[in-house]
Amino acid sequence: MVASVTQGAGNPIGVLDLQGDVAEHLDHLERLGVAVRLVRTPQDLEHLAGLIIPGGESTCLARLLDIFGMKDRISHEFQRGLKLWGTCAGAILIADTIVGEPSFLPLIDIEIKRNAFGSQLDSFISEASVPRVAPEPIPLTFIRAPKITRVGRGVEILLQRDGYIAAAESPGVLVTVFHPELTPSLAFHQYFALKCGLTPFAAKVPPIDIPWDNRSWTRYTRL
């Protein structure tokens, strides 16, 4: 991949490009017309409206963030107003408390339990209503997902089901234990863009109705 992807207007949303579902997030943001930047170095974090820390393998991502010197820089930029969205492994990395192990980059007051549904074979898809995010039900993809077991002061629950929390937010952070980038829906990407102060060109279009090819993200693998 190249170090930058240019489209849309305004400060870009960055996608952490070290490991995980990078191309899929780029595809969804492009469909919204949002400017995007791939983030690989501390310098890539400058002048971003927001940063997506994608799903992948949280232990691997943590090591790479340390190796590339990005852990402290993300915290610094967050204090300066950078908005964050952690999906699945990304949510684990920025949780204040991880059950049974030390936290890594505690930027939202939640408690999270990794691999809470079981093995990869216990991955599943479903849908749910998230009224703050979209008026229509949103498809959900859970892959070896964690569960948010508690939220603290200043954190609001966006989606709760079957005794666990699947999505939550603070003023500066959004966390989802599922993978919105692996579904046709743009609802959560649009919600995060608006949280970052951006207005996607598709803001008035129901996100589920924007055409999607489930392999369209593969064009980024050729960059």
The catalytic residue positions are 88, 179, 181
In a domain, 55, yes or no: yes
In a domain, 126, yes or no: yes
Residue-wise pLDDT tens digits, 42-79: 999 999 999 999 988 899 999 999 999 999 999 999 99
In a domain, 4, yes or no: no
Total domain count for the chain? 1
Average pLDDT, the chain: 87
Q: What are phi and psi of 159, to 5 degrees?
A: -150, 125
Nearest CA among 168, 176, 170 for reference residue 146: 176
For helices 187-195 and 22-32, give the axis angle rounded to 10 degrees. Answer: 80
Structure tokens at 13: 């949303």
In a domain, 141, yes or no: yes
pLDDT attached to residue 203: 47
Residue-wise pLDDT tens digits, 76-97: 999 999 999 999 999 999 999 9
pLDDT attached to residue 208: 45
Instruction: Residue 100: give the domain boundaries.
Output: 13-222
Q: How confident is the model at residue 166 (pLDDT cuts 50, 70, 90)?
A: very high
Structure tokens at 89: 């492994």
Residue-wise pLDDT tens digits, 135-149: 999 999 998 889 999
Q: How confident is the model at residue 211 (pLDDT cuts 50, 70, 90)?
A: low
Decide the pairing of beta strands 50-53 and 13-16. parallel
Decide the pairing of beta strands 83-87 and 50-53. parallel
What CATH number is given to the structural domain containing 28?
A: 3.40.50.880
Q: Model pTM?
A: 0.86
In a domain, 199, yes or no: yes
In a domain, 3, yes or no: no
